[in-house]
């Protein structure tokens, strides 16, 4: 009959003081710039993945001004492997806006933050709470899972109707005190206790009024996304090898792997052959059968067939420069490569020209 003696937020904060994460790189020091960079990197990306990227990024771009001044290729180079490369482009666009419009300082106002490219409702709230000390509820993957269970919210959280309900609950649950700690606390609870698989309810500070636990449905909430079969997209690529390295070109800024450097591609093998022979009349297609790169994205499966061509010394014909480089594994590069392409090129025998081994 009587409810829990302490409010949701009070129980969570007490738990956080003892069991929360207090040693994340962006917590020391917790500047607005570092919080912003971490929040963007953490979009759809796990903490353990982000940490090394965050350290290197902050070292190279220590403040808003440094990021605003940087070359786009170098920003993407520091982002390569993280995925969702529009985040990097938006980050730099936002940095330049912050310099021009806000004197190089992130604004502590929700509308101003959310108007910046790459910052949506939840990221704006995370910055407000953690960098400005304001009461602003977030709704990320962890919070969605915690609240969907605690309030037993039906439906897939990605559905707008369900999401709207979760935003309501997030606002109701958030206390007035210690906004930064509460924000970190509810994320920590989701990441370490209220996990997707095998949650540790025996270590949870808010089980007293957890609706999913009472109903014995912790394992069923939140409900999964409706599944759909992934289409397969077949593409053909040209691997042109010269003594100078492998030819890579910059991809368009929109579309998959936007702004990264990769092998030239086409829809069919003859288009690749025509493109190569048009550029390098001395190119010879290698005898071995084409290699294959398989890669799965969130919305389709890529089946990339790779035709190999060899160029004699001095036949490159195209200097490095606008949108093209000759890539050699191990050599320092200043651009970003898609993770599966870099793996492929670094495999023995793919990117070396065979004349030295």
Residues that bind DNA (CB under 7 A): 21, 24, 26, 38-39, 42-49, 80-86, 90, 117-124, 126, 140-142, 144-145, 159-161, 184, 187-188, 190-191, 196-198, 224-225, 227-228, 230, 254-258, 295, 297-300, 338-340
Question: Which of 39, 154, 168, 265 is flagged as catalytic?
Answer: 39
Cβ-contact 199, 6 below 8 angstroms: no
**Start-to-end C-alpha separation, the chain:** 79
| Cβ 110 to DNA shortest distance, Å | 11
| Cβ 149 to DNA shortest distance, Å | 11
Strands (DSSP E) contained in the chain are 232-242, 245-250, 261-262, 265-266, 284-285, 291-296, 301-310, 324-327
163 or 277: whose CB is closer to DNA?
163
Q: What would the DSSP string read from start to end of 182-210?
A: HHHHHHHHHHHTS-SSS--GGG-TT-TT-
| Cβ 339 to DNA shortest distance, Å | 4
167 or 326: whose CB is closer to DNA?
167
Tokens 């061509």 correspond to what residue? 309
| Cβ 292 to DNA shortest distance, Å | 13
320 counts as catalytic: no
The rounded Cα 272 to chain-centroid distance in angstroms is 31
203 or 225: whose CB is closer to DNA?
225
159 or 214: whose CB is closer to DNA?
159
| Cβ 14 to DNA shortest distance, Å | 19
Q: What element of type H or E holds 74?
A: helix 72-79
Dihedral of the CA atoms 61, 62, 64, 67 (nearest 10)? Answer: -10
Q: How far apart are CA 149 and CA 217, in angstroms?
A: 8
| Cβ 13 to DNA shortest distance, Å | 16
159 or 274: whose CB is closer to DNA?
159
256 or 333: whose CB is closer to DNA?
256
Q: Reduced to 3 states, what is the DSSP secondary structure of residue 165?
A: helix
Residue 245: φ, ψ to 5°: 130, -160
Q: How far apart are CA 104 and CA 98, in angstroms?
A: 5
44 or 355: whose CB is closer to DNA?
44
Q: How far apart are CA 324 and CA 337, in angstroms?
A: 12
Residue 259 backbone class (left: φ over 0; alpha: ψ -120 to 50; beta: rest): left
| Cβ 165 to DNA shortest distance, Å | 12
| Per-residue tokens: 237 | 């690529």
122: closest CA among 140, 134, 144?
140
| Residues known to be catalytic | 39
């Amino acid at each position: 009959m009587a409810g829990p003696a302490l409010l949701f937020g009070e129980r969570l904060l007490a738990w956080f003081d003892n069991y929360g994460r207090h040693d994340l790189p962006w917590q020391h020091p917790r500047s607005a710039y570092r919080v912003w960079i971490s929040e963007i990197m953490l979009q759809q990306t796990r903490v353990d993945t982000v940490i090394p990227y965050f350290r290197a990024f902050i070292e190279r771009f220590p403040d808003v001004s440094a990021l605003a001044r940087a070359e786009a290729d170098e920003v993407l180079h520091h982002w390569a492997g993280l995925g969702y490369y529009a985040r990097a482009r938006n980050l730099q666009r936002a940095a330049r806006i912050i310099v021009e419009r806000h004197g190089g300082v992130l604004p502590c106002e929700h509308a101003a933050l959310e108007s910046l490219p790459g910052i949506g409702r939840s990221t704006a709230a995370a910055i407000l709470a953690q960098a400005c000390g304001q009461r602003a509820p977030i709704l990320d993957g962890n919070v969605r899972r915690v609240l969907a269970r605690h309030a037993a919210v039906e439906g897939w959280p990605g559905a707008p109707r369900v999401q709207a309900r979760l935003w309501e609950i997030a606002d109701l649950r958030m206390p007035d005190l210690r906004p930064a700690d509460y924000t970190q606390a509810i994320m920590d609870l989701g990441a370490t206790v209220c996990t997707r698989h095998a949650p540790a309810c025996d270590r949870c500070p808010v089980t007293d009024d957890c609706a999913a636990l009472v109903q014995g449905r912790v394992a069923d909430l939140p409900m999964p996304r409706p599944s759909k079969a992934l289409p397969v997209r077949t593409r053909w690529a040209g691997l042109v090898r010269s003594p100078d390295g492998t030819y890579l070109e910059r991809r368009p800024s929109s579309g998959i792997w936007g702004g990264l450097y990769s092998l030239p591609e086409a829809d069919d093998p003859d288009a690749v052959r025509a493109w190569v022979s048009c550029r390098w009349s001395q190119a010879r297609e290698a005898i071995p059968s084409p290699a294959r790169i398989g890669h799965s994205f969130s919305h389709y499966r890529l089946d990339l067939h790779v035709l190999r061509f060899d160029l004699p010394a001095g036949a490159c014909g195209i200097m490095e420069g606008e949108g093209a480089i000759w890539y050699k594994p191990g050599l320092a590069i200043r651009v970003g490569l898609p993770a599966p392409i870099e793996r492929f090129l670094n495999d023995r025998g793919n990117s070396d020209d065979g004349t030295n081994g």
